[in-house]
Amino acid sequence: MQSFRTELENPIVERDIIELEKKIRLFREGAVTDEKFRSLRLARGIYGQRQPGVQMVRIKLPYGKMTLQQWKRITDISDEYATSNLHLTTRQDVQIHYVSLDRTPELWSKLEQDGITIREACGNTVRNVTASDRAGIDPEEPFDVTPYADATFRYFLRNPVSQEMGRKIKIAFSSSEKDTAWAFMHDFGMIPKVKIIDGKEVRGFKVLVAGGLGAQPFLAKTAHEFLETDLLIPYIENVLRVFDRYGERTSRNKARMKFLVQKIGFEEFNRLVEEEYTAIRTKSVPVDADAWPQTQPPAPVSSLPAYSVKDPKKFEAWKKTNVFEQKQKGYFAAYVKITLGNIGSAVSRQLIEALRPVIADDVRVTANQGLLLKFILPEHLEYVYSALEAAGFAEPGFDSIADITACPGTDTCNLGISSSTGIAKVLEDVIKEEYPDLVYNKDIKIKISGCMNSCGQHGIASIGFHGSSMKSGGKVLPALQVLLGGGIVGDGVGRVADKVIKVPSKRGPDVLRSLLNDYEQNSQENELFNEYYDRQGEKYFYELLKPLADITNLTQEDFIDWGQAQDYATAIGVGECAGVIIDLVATLLLEADEKLELGAAALANGAWSDAIYHAYSSFVQAAKALLLGEGVSGNTQIGIINDFDKYFTATGKFTFDTDFKTTVLQINANEPSEQFAKAYYAQAADFYKTAQVYREKAAQAAPVQA
């Protein structure tokens, strides 16, 4: 692998990239285990694809924002390192595929030249902070949540608290009570509120915690009906510290925050969160939203290139379905429907140059895999449409039933069971050709995932599908689990879809036809789809679709998945969306030492809180290593701390002034001062040295294996 040097001015970012290059080299040389390296690269946005030997790189765009230059930079990167395609995700990221691992440090350095990061885009970290794409221009918003989403993103990026948790954390900010960022399905969801306190208007958030989709969806619980904005980040930090210490680390399927709350109860969870208040680095994080650089309209243009609209009727439909007036009077925003979130780099550059004169330098990736263009004058809408039409991206029906959300599924994901993109294309064609008037229907949402993990958000869809399989005559065929009745209620309340029935994948179009025809024929006037579903009930829809689940009359075509030519075969790999559990003794001790190195650097920089948390992590990692050497495997940090006292302190193998738990949990009882940081770090360093000596003696005493 060739070495390189970045020209970045930010020394922290430069150190990150050089460290990645170093770890790749050590991995190639066999000096770093596969388990350890996987964890490291995931935290740098590098995800192993279904196809061996290549990587997906996830580019992290807080609240989905791209400047036009950043958009162009990503297109250039995709041309040079990937497949000249940009995949827009439901978490407002951009993914590129088929990247060589050895080229990722260089790729990252080029992205950072325009302030774009891949840090913590995957792995057991705080993932991308999402927000309503309309934030800042939403006519219904009490205030712009963008500055607060940005502050949250920056506060937790590289934060020691959120580097190696048991599982990922997802955060979302909605712009209004319509909850278009789906606060109810996130680990943290925020909805802006305004209160009058002592005669003054005070900004705050309704805060929801411990929501999530996946195979077992949980609706988030309300932690605060109103939390002032400067208290939000400290609250999130408190919760993350509790999740880091008490969250599951062995069973990946039980490691999300929703399971911790379910296990210990919400009351106990809140008590533990309150206990952390003393130790956090700051009790208030004010965000000067008034000083936030507002998105500016484009400069006036005297003339535009010659243009024409090929389909005036379609243009009128596009204006009705894809365009809305901003809260800034006289300006409009336009949504771009991107089928399955895929847009080529050449087309992207074409649009960037054509649209630059008439849109703001602030393009948002939407949570349903599209784009939002802002600050368009009414007289420029026709020109914008013509540019989109020329590029093949002028379809009306954004966020309608005809705008289907789907994850990559078996195209590239290790966990994909059956095709999600193939069936999505077919269903969009069914709506376009057989139900053209539904392009105006924004009530019904169709969402598809390639497996039960809900990356395509099928669990909150009016009509959802997730990939599955069925058996018939000793053969396996691709299948779809049908879910109905999910969606947004508002103000942090959501609906989880019901699993109704499983059908062969090739019958997906007939499922959609049956549902739409039944709804059209039997619904009451102005009755929304979910209202109709509630009135008829789950059993009614099971019986409606039951004939399509019959596998006694299969054809050869049913054994071939969408977009494939060969018979279907399940081929599920090892999922990496949450990293893996690292339990090798030597690796754990190495990690404990690395935490001390990070702590020393934080002390040198006066970052007392960071130094303390690195020292805490070193305590836990070293204790876990020694316990593992004794055959004891802990599944939470607090369990490791308790077990160390049981197996090492109580047996006299280690001694402390009190015990190990009291020593380690000083972290909760002290303010993060310089004095405490240095003393606590020294204790952690001493413990690591003692642990190293103990491990070396144990290794020497171990019998030699024949």
pLDDT tens-digit map of 176-204? 999 999 999 999 999 999 999 999 999 99
**How does residue 7 score in pLDDT terms, banded at 50, 70 and 90?**
very low
Based on the domain organization, do 222 and 334 belong to the same domain?
Answer: no
Task: Let me know whether 320 and 357 are in one domain.
Answer: yes
Would you say residue 673 lies in a domain?
Answer: yes
Q: According to the model, what pLDDT value does residue 289 have?
A: 94
Mean pLDDT estimate for the chain: 91
Last residue within a domain, chosen from 391, 420, 437: 391
Instruction: Give the mean pLDDT of 271-293.
Output: 93
We report the CATH number of the domain holding residue 183 as 3.30.413.10
**95, 89 in Cβ contact below 8 A?**
yes
Give the whole-angstrom CA distance, residue 261 versus residue 424.
Answer: 35
CA dist list (Å): 447 to 238, 308, 332, 459: 34, 34, 28, 8
- Backbone φ/ψ region at 199: left (φ over 0), alpha (ψ -120 to 50), beta: left
**Residue 3 pLDDT:** 39
Choosing from 266, 294, 322, the residue where a domain stops is 294
State how far Cα 605 lies from the chain centre.
31
Structure confidence by residue, pLDDT tens digits, 600-618: 999 999 999 999 999 999 9
Does residue 167 have a pLDDT over 80?
A: yes
- Percent of the chain exceeding pLDDT 90 equals 75
Q: Look at residue 354 and tell me if it is in a domain.
A: yes
Tell me how crowded residue 598 is: count the other CB atoms within 10 A of its CB: 21
Domain boundary among 559, 594, 612: 559
Same domain, 271 and 148: yes
List helix spans (H) across 493-571.
508-522, 529-536, 538-545
Q: Indicate if 158 and 273 belong to the same structural domain.
A: yes
Burial class (CB in 10 A: 0-12, 13-18, 19+), 68: middle
Q: Do both 280 and 344 map to the same domain?
A: no
Task: Give yes or no: residues 142 and 290 share one domain.
Answer: yes
Least-confidence region, from 61-70, 243-252, 256-265, 345-354: 243-252
The verdict on 506 and 364 lying in the same domain is: no
The pLDDT value recorded for residue 276 is 94
Q: What is the pLDDT of residue 199?
A: 93
**3 state SS of 67:** coil
CB burial readout 445-481, b (16+ within 10 A) else e: bbbbbbbbbbbbbbbbbbbbbbbbbbeeeeeebbbbb
Task: Please give the Cα distance from 5 to 14 (Å, whole number).
Answer: 9
Residue 577 belongs to a domain: no
Token digits for 498? Answer: 């019901």
Give the Cα separation of 255 and 632 in Å (integer). 19
Read off the pLDDT of each residue in 234-261 and give the average, rounded to a whole number: 93
Q: How confident is the model at residue 531 (pLDDT cuts 50, 70, 90)?
A: very high
Q: How many domains does the chain have?
A: 5
CB atoms near residue 579 (< 10 Å) = 25
pLDDT at 82: 96
Alpha-helical (H) ranges within 144-210 are: 146-156
- Residues 417-426 have a mean pLDDT of 85
Domain holding 617, by residue range, is: 585-701
Q: Which of 147-156, 589-598, 666-675 has the lowest mean pLDDT?
A: 589-598
Q: Which percentage of the chain shows pLDDT scores above 70?
A: 95
Residue 524 lies in a domain: yes
Average pLDDT of the segment spanning 562-580: 61
Q: What integer is the mean pLDDT of 585-597?
A: 85
Question: Which spans in 463-584 are helix H?
Answer: 508-522, 529-536, 538-545
pLDDT (tens digit per residue) in 428-442: 999 999 999 999 999
**Amino acid symbol at 196:** I
pLDDT above 50 (res 704) = no
Residues 496 and 418 in one domain: yes
Q: How confident is the model over 633-658, as pLDDT tens digits? A: 888 999 999 999 999 999 999 999 99
Give residue for tokens 């970290």: 125
Name residue, tokens 């605060």: 224
Nearest-angstrom CA–CA distance, 524 and 528: 9
Determine, yes or no, domain membership for 180.
yes
Q: Is residue 640 within 8 Å of 634, Cβ to Cβ?
A: yes
- Residues 6 or more apart whose CB falls under 8 angstroms from that of 277 comprise 234, 238, 283
Is beta strand 463-472 parallel, antiparallel or unpaired with respect to 446-449?
A: parallel
Range of weakest confidence among 225-234, 321-330, 415-424, 530-539: 415-424
* Same domain? 244 vs 143: yes
Question: What pLDDT does 581 receive?
Answer: 34
Task: Work out whether strand 85-88 and strand 65-66 pair parallel, antiparallel, or are unpaired.
Answer: unpaired
Please indicate, yes or no, whether residues 442 and 526 belong to a single structural domain of this protein.
Answer: yes
Pick the residue with more confidence: 346 or 407? 346
Within a 13 Å sphere around the CA of 293, how many CA atoms are in the beta-carbon half? 4
Asked whether residue 576 is domain-assigned, the answer is: no
Asked if residue 416 has pLDDT above 80, the reply is no
Do residue 373 and residue 329 come from a single domain?
yes
- Does residue 333 register a pLDDT over 60? yes
Binned at pLDDT 50, 70 and 90, residue 591 comes out as confident
Q: Full-prediction pTM beyond 0.75?
A: yes
Residue 131: inside a domain: no
User: Kindly report the CA angle at 551 between 550 and 555, in degrees rounded to 5?
Assistant: 125
Residue 682 and residue 647 in one domain: yes
**What number is the average pLDDT over the span 213-238?**
95
Length of the chain, in residues: 706
Residue 179: DSSP 8-state? -
Residue 645 maps to which CATH number?
Answer: 1.20.120.330
Tell me if 414 sits within 8 A of 573, measured CB to CB.
Answer: yes
| Residue in the block written with tokens 């959501």 | 494
Q: Are 508 and 423 spatial neighbours (Cβ–Cβ below 8 Å)?
A: yes
Spatial separation of the C-alpha atoms in residues 557 and 502, rounded to whole Å:
17
476-528 pLDDT tens trace: 998 999 999 999 999 999 999 999 999 999 999 999 999 999 999 999 999 99
Q: Does residue 580 belong to any structural domain of this protein?
A: no
Region 31-43: mean pLDDT is 79
Q: CA–CA distance from 182 to each of 220, 408, 453, 504 (Å)?
A: 10, 21, 17, 30
Proportion of the chain in helix, strand, coil states, percent, rounded to 5: 45, 15, 40
CATH number at residue 89: 3.90.480.20
> Cβ contacts of residue 563 below 8 Å, gap of 6+?
419, 421, 422
Mean pLDDT of 645-672: 96
* Average pLDDT over every residue of 286-295: 93
Residue 703's pLDDT is 53
